[in-house]
Amino acid sequence: MAGMFLSDQISFRGPVPSDLSDPGIVGRTVSFYEPYEARDRESGQPLDNNELLRRILKNTDIDILLRTLGNAFFPRSITVGIAPTLLVAPNRYPRGYIFINPSTTVTSVVSTVTVFASQVFPVGTTNSASINVAGHGGAAFFMNITEASAGPVTVDAQSQDPVTGNWMTTQSDIFAGASALGNYYANIGSLGVDQNLRLVVNVAGDSMTASIGAVLKPALAGTVAGPTIFLGGPDVTTTIGYPLLGGQKEVLFLKENTPLFGIAVAATNLRLFELQ
């Protein structure tokens, strides 16, 4: 007859902790029937009020014990592979577990954009390409002038109307009339950082050579990414498994004789803590 070792087949130093060697916690199930008569689910025998109350109190204590730390609260590090990997072997009694997927990276906190590469701005108006600023809460711009204009220069920020598609000036002369050789910085904050944004460069008197870059910050919803681990039975796949995302923690309480498996698209480390 095929089988597998129980999850308390572990190695440790010192004596066996009592909550691993003792029988553990055993609950009693109760069924209710109209008109709200309580019966023992195993025997079908009716229960009087005192017996029903004792069972309710005992099962409440069991729920508390499942969520209480004990000697078995020790970490395990498991490598989850591309085939179903056994995470928790069947246990004799219900037990609580904490699963942590520690693989995380945070992206999209800031974005950088080249608004204008170094180029000659002729006399007149030059519009930048549209910049998608959705999901960002502010913008800062950097201008480097390598050949100054003999006349005034202004750079305006504009936002696009989503209904008409027209561009509207939200902030004028963001570099405060800078036109001499040098480096200039302008932080426009959140005003005009809506969905689509562009810059309008107005040059008078003479052409100018410059570049303008942008930093969009902060991302309103930074993306936490990392390998996902999928939990389930022995046939779990990355399609039907319960996803444990990178950086996510889940607390699960498993019934007796319930194994749990995991799978990932690439070898991924998992932290497992037993609660009792």
Which pLDDT tens digit goes with each residue over 29-47? 555 455 567 777 777 778 7
Query: What are the tokens at 240?
Result: 């039907």
The DSSP string of 97-164 is EEEE----EEE-S-EEEEEEEEEEE-SEEEEPPPEE-TTEEEEEEEEEEEE--SS-EEEEEEEE-TTT
264/274: higher pLDDT: 264
pLDDT at residue 134, as a whole number: 87
pLDDT at residue 107, as a whole number: 61
pLDDT of residue 220 exceeding 60? no
pLDDT of residue 21 exceeding 90? no
State the pTM of this model. Answer: 0.48
Domains along the sequence of the chain with CATH: 18-104+226-274 (2.60.120.1030), 107-219 (2.60.120.230)
Encode pLDDT of 172-214 as tens digits: 999 998 889 999 999 999 999 999 999 999 999 899 999 999 9
- Output the CA angle 26-28-33, nearest 5 degrees: 165
pLDDT of residue 66 exceeding 70? no
Q: How does residue 160 score in pLDDT terms, banded at 50, 70 and 90?
A: very high
For residue 58, the cross-strand partners are none
Identity at 48, one-letter amino acid code: D
pLDDT at residue 37, as a whole number: 73
Alpha carbons 158 and 191: distance in angstroms, whole number: 10
The mean per-residue pLDDT over the stretch 222-226 comes to 63
pLDDT of residue 263 exceeding 70? yes
